[in-house]
Amino acid sequence: MTAYAALSAHFSRLSALSNAIGVLHWDHAAVMPKGSAEKRGESLALLNVLRHDMLTDARVGDWLSEAETDNGLGAWERANLREIRRVYTVETAIPADLVAASSKATSACEMAWRDARAASDFKGLLPRLQEVLKLQREIGRAKGEKLALSPYDALLNDYEPGGRSAAIDVLFDDLAAFLPGFTEEAMAAQARRPAVPPLDGPFPVETQKALGLKMMAALGFDFDRGRLDVSTHPFCGGSDDDVRITTRYDEADFTSSLMGVLHETGHALYEQGRPRAFMGQPVGEARGMSVHESQSLLIEMQACRSREFLTYAAPVMREAFGGSGPGWEADALWRRYTRVAPGFIRVDADEVTYPAHVILRYRLEKALIADAMALADLPAAWADGMQALLGITPPDDRRGCLQDVHWPSGGWGYFPTYTLGAMTAAQLFDAATRADADILPGVARGDFQPLLAWLRTNVHGKGSSLSTDDLLTEATGRPLDAGVFKAHLARRYLDQA
């Protein structure tokens, strides 16, 4: 057996273990009884240590050194070696006991977060969240020393390989300066349009679910390899060929949960479209979270908040709920789905104000990882940041610093990928619609195949064979350009006034 073949077999086994961890994480978030949390935490900790042990096996380093000299490998195999080397370098920076401690701490903290969020009790969560933060700082320092990065950049690198906070600071500072004035312009343009007519509920959960499933099918979701469920915080998880998405429902407002389903379906389509020939290998994985978030936001924001989509969706929604009146017309629904108004909740935020939510979290988590602020000061710092960026102050921590699962579950460094993803989504959708003139007419008739085919070729099927910058440049002809995102916002929120 060649060194490359040995590596491939080893990582196939590792992938099977990762798949089991993924399904247990989904179960933990979606259906596991609260009383099972401690034992589940122990199980996940053990599995994560076993995974870490496989990743850091000394044989991996030996196989890599030998395989990297094999001139007979193809481009995909060489890209796989590059990805294996990247993962191996990162994982060998952390000791197994730190992996176990972090896994246990995040499992416990995530369960505690659910109750704390419901009760708006930040002080009650603080001890567990402090432990998670302490361990994340240790992980960041260990990885940073190995990679010659700051602790925060080392954590960011897990979600955005090659991403650096210095570059993000420039992009986000520019957006933070641009958005307040643009938001005022967008709201002024909005005020010149007719008021959005009401939609009279209630909207039964089962009907909302049926509508979501219908839209998922239209988008191209494969129900033989995935499912829809409910959780406190919507997410996409599961494993290879078993992609599980969740949403949450509100019988007074179906519009938010439906867009949540469409958002997570974008993630799921990416997972279901990864290159099958390299499934179970690092090169077959998604290319980092800014690309992943671009796929969810391309579907939700670019495609499904367009006039074309709502031309198709309006009669489907109206029939599903037995609606009548002007609120169910396509133009009224478009105005509802593109309404700009600063709000407290990130996942419910409109496209214009959403980046401010991300910029706030990014700045706070950077300060916390750097130990430049005390975790106990987070609620006050959050309130100050919301006031500065959006002009509003949350009335309680449930609608403030407790709203997201990311920090309790150990997702430090993830937040900036949302806005990087929004910018990437705008650029990809612009390129797709320029390349195929049938994409927008297809969306208007409920046919997403032209769009999905372009994404399969230019994003999904690439796996991790290219860097994020190279993937975007190959697909669109240029690296990430904030001007495309700004131009999209202007077209939608100013030009269509």
Residue numbers annotated as active site:
264
Residue 445: closest CA among 328, 320, 314: 314
Both tokens assigned to 433: 């619609």
453 CB burial (10 A radius; 0-12, 13-18, 19+): middle
Peptide bond connecting 127 to the previous residue in cis, omega within 30 degrees of 0: no
395 CB burial (10 A radius; 0-12, 13-18, 19+): exposed
Long-range contacts of the stretch 457-462 (C-beta < 8 A, 24+): 458/428, 458/431, 458/432, 459/270, 459/273, 459/291, 459/294, 459/295, 459/428, 460/269, 460/270, 460/272, 460/273, 460/274, 460/295, 461/273, 461/274, 461/275, 462/275, 462/287
Q: Provide the pairing of β-strand 242-247 with 226-230.
A: parallel
Both tokens assigned to 112: 């505690």
Residue 301 is which amino acid? M
* Distance between CA atoms of residues 321 and 318, nearest Å: 6
326 CB burial (10 A radius; 0-12, 13-18, 19+): exposed
Helix (H) or strand (E) holding 449: helix 449-458
DSSP secondary structure string for all residues of 152-201: HHHHHHHHSTT--HHHHHHHHHHHHHHHHHHHHHHHHHHHTSPPPPP---
